[in-house]
Amino acid sequence: MNQKASTPLADLMNDARAAEIRGDWITASEKYREAVSLAPLDAHVCYRAGNSLLEAGDAEGSLQYLEKASMLAPGTIEFDLKLGEIFFSLRRFGEAIDTYKQVLANDPNNVSASNNIGICLQEAGEIDDAISAMQYSLRIAPDDPIVHANFGSALIKAGRADEALEHLIEATSKNVKHAEAWSNLGVAFQETLKLDEALDAHRTALALAPNNSSIRYNLSMTLLLLGEYIDGFEVFEHRRHMPDRKPRSFDIPEWFGESLVGKSVLVHAEQGAGDTIMFARFLTRLTDSGAHITFSVQQSLESLEFRFAKSVDVKSGKIEPTDFDYQIPLLSLPNRFDITLQDIGNSEPYIAPPQAFQNTKSDVSRIGLVWAGNPNHTNDLNRSIPFAKLAPLLALPQIQWVSLQVGERAADIAKSNSSIEDLSAGLQNFSDTAAAIANLDLVVTVDTSVAHLAGAMGAKVWILLPYAPDWRWLLNRQDTPWYPQARLFRQTEPKAWDSVIMQVSAAIAQKEYAI
């Protein structure tokens, strides 16, 4: 019987394949790369080398092999799909889209390519184009649950959660084990304030994928919105393990409730400035436990006058890990202290105006205004207000409007005929904004960091909220335990800012802020 002779290339390929089967992608990639050195013009060998590197977590290293495979065998759909996947993992969305378009040029009905184009556009923030791409996917694969799931996700990001429900329900009915679709269905239910259904969907997703941190995070958002703080903050801990999060890492033991008498603790900010301001209140619980605290904050917050005990040092910049006994992310403190909704109330102001500020209040009511948050925020489409919508407010007599708006939306003033006083050029950090707030009778703002700053100062602040608010503002109430001087104005239906503006206008006309 004739037996095919073994060759060095065949041996390497067999060894690599065996490593793949047992899940040892590092060894597989080493063997495949050795094989490439023996067969540099073999497109399949180059493909296997690139794929194994990608599976081993080295997307950058895999790129050269997949590009070579695609060049050696142009038009090979399998190779181009994998090359697009690599570009996507490297967040090189334009190149990924071009690669997937090449697949569609060869196979116009390739749903993987069309679907991935939509996902790339969504990740790049081109939501309208993403929806158009996904509509094409629906036309060529109307029964594909993955297409419906991705389309639903894009519709949520476009602020069209009511439409997303239809597609996510379709996705989960066609594939009841699609955990991500169930989780996104939970998000869509939350955005439409169907919270019982949201909890059911999140828990179904979690049963299917118990180790998925993104699913747990979505569940935590619903629990917290409902005021279930003990369970909510426990599940919220999984935020730190989500694929798109890059938490700060320190070679310091994390604090899990050990005695802090005489200990030095690093508490570090981890998300936006508003979160840092809001959660800073919990530092007093650490100092009450006998700890010396270093509070590592964003540079824009360092100059704020926090009203902490002397055992808190506020700083930004580099941290020396040898200086501390423990460390903890700021947003983990409510979990460590088992904070309940009842624990939040009666908060005293804990940020003071800068010591150098001068009171310049006048007889005319001066009201600060912020109409837009960070455009990169995931919910900015829902929480920010088009400047033109503010016209009824700006038309009120005997009010001097003062803009606290910063960033690109500060330019809205110049495009209008408004007499609003623009402070944006002088607001270089939050200390500048705090000084401005101290000279105002009221701050009217959307849900952004200025709302938290004014609230933490004990200033009167009216916060304008979308139909489905961020978890911290709870539901069906005009007040908030987080900031006793705050008043909440809520949309009664999605995207309906006009009624909110009219409510605020009427309240200002009646000088309700002066009560």
Per residue in 34-85, pLDDT tens? 999 999 999 999 999 999 999 999 999 999 999 999 999 999 999 999 999 9
User: Residue 263 carries which DSSP code?
Assistant: -
Alpha-helical (H) ranges within 92-126 are 93-106, 111-123
pLDDT at residue 395 greater than cutoff 50: yes
Per residue in 430-462, pLDDT tens? 999 999 999 999 999 999 999 999 999 999 999
pLDDT at residue 104 greater than cutoff 80: yes
Mean pLDDT, residues 210-214? 96
More reliable by pLDDT, 274 or 364: 274
> pTM for this structure?
0.90
C-alpha pair distances (Å), 293 with each of 283, 287, 290, 320: 8, 7, 9, 14
User: Residue 4 carries which DSSP code?
Assistant: P
Share of the chain above pLDDT 90, in %: 86
What pLDDT score was predicted for residue 72?
A: 95
C-alpha–C-alpha distance, residues 438 and 433, integer Å = 9
What pLDDT score was predicted for residue 360?
A: 63
CA Rg, the chain, in Å? 27
Closest C-alpha among 94, 91, 80, 82 to residue 53: 82
Mean pLDDT score across all residues of the chain: 93
Per residue in 294-319, pLDDT tens? 999 999 999 999 998 778 999 998 88
Per residue in 328-385, pLDDT tens? 999 999 999 999 999 997 678 999 998 765 566 667 899 999 999 888 777 888 999 9
Give 1's pLDDT tier (boundaries 50, 70, 90). very low
Per residue in 153-207, pLDDT tens? 999 999 999 999 999 999 999 999 999 999 999 999 999 999 999 999 999 999 9
What pLDDT score was predicted for residue 357?
A: 57
Share of the chain above pLDDT 70, in %: 97
Give 399's pLDDT tier (boundaries 50, 70, 90). very high
C-alpha pair distances (Å), 379 with each of 111, 161, 162, 271, 470: 29, 12, 16, 14, 9
pLDDT at residue 5 greater than cutoff 90: no
User: Residue 360 carries which DSSP code?
Assistant: -
C-alpha–C-alpha distance, residues 353 and 433, integer Å = 9
Enumerate domains of the chain plus CATH numbers: 8-241 (1.25.40.10), 264-339 (3.40.50), 365-514 (3.40.50.2000)
C-alpha–C-alpha distance, residues 389 and 385, integer Å = 7
What pLDDT score was predicted for residue 264?
A: 96
